[in-house]
Structure 1
Amino acid sequence: MSQPPQPVREPQHAAPKGEGQSPASDVDQIAIAPVIWTTLICALIAGGGHAVLWLSRSLGWTVPSSEGAVIPWQPVTGIVLVLVAIIAFGGFYIAARRARVAISASFLLTFLVALSYVLTLQGLAEATQAGGAKEIFNDFRTVVIVIIGFYFGTEALVSAAKIIGAALTHNDPKIIQRADRDLGPPARGVK
């Protein structure tokens, strides 16, 4: 006996955005785990640099002598700041997939770590009060202020444009709630 032919099943696709999906499953969400790991790693690097300098000072290794300090604060601070900047950029870019978020986070975290070193290292504090280091630190502070202002300013403008667009076109507010990535090409796998 022959069996009747089986119907061909079409592959099922995911429901379009807004239909049967919770906002948490949205592709545009920032991944929390990379943010937590990045922040933790940056804090450990910054704390490790402070610990190395504290330990070397307590052992008398940073006291300049005729041979120089065994562990000078300048390279330790420089290495810490470079590592924090690079790791913060990479981690926040992985989390958000937006360069604007990564640049803002990188500059802000680097500035906060630099500020902690300025407040704890007498030599760095003195260097930032006069000469070229003062100008560099002041310029860096200004850049951080501009970047953070630009970040929040553009977020506000994008939100305002979406609200105005929704009001003028009578669109469903749920469609307008998507992230500002809508202004660029869609992410991979998103139609």
Structure 2
Amino acid sequence: MRDTIDLNWQSSEYEWIELVRQLLLELARACLGDLPKLPMHVAQQARPMAETAGRLLDEARSRGIAEAQWKHYPELAWTHDARKLFLELAQVYLSDLPKLPDNASIRALDLAERAQTLLENPMDSASESSSSDSSQENPTPSQTAETTPSHGENLENASPSKLMSLLKGRLEQQRSRSSNPDAPEWQQLLNLLDVAQGLYRNLKE
């Protein structure tokens, strides 16, 4: 478990997660276009990214974290899933008849969202994932404060990033109260908002 074996990840590993997240968003945007395609930049990075992911997983094994335990380590579970997608993309790049993997856009968006969670909560995701169900049903005051503007906050002067974060929080609250919270439209809506946030970050850079 996480409290017995430390992954010992440094800032460089999280910088790599950010690079992967940007590639995933680029892939998702390309897949959602009128003519879904594999961006050349993503294709060229697929093999190196998969190799880095493999190295991180091998290091975890050497520290005594078996594959069966990776589900307890969000970083490792995410790395495993990202490596699988990048290996598939590498095969597409080398294929004579390239075809994007099934549900590439959905998988890319899901991985990008999970990457953002890891970046916002480095080395602290296991405890959050273990209590996610209860926290969604009974949000704490601090969680509510994160998604609810204070009385003194002027939304007219709030940045687009702040507004999108608030919108995402409100949508997640509405989803938890919905009579059909598992409807795929909820996740699609949140995924599209993640893409919008990623696009805005790119414009700011």
Give me the TM-score of the superposition, normalised by structure 2: 0.27
* Highest RCO, 1 vs 2 (Cα 8 Å, sep ≥ 6): 2
Give me the TM-score of the superposition, normalised by structure 1: 0.28
Over alpha carbons, which structure has the higher Rg? 1
Greater share of residues in helix: 2
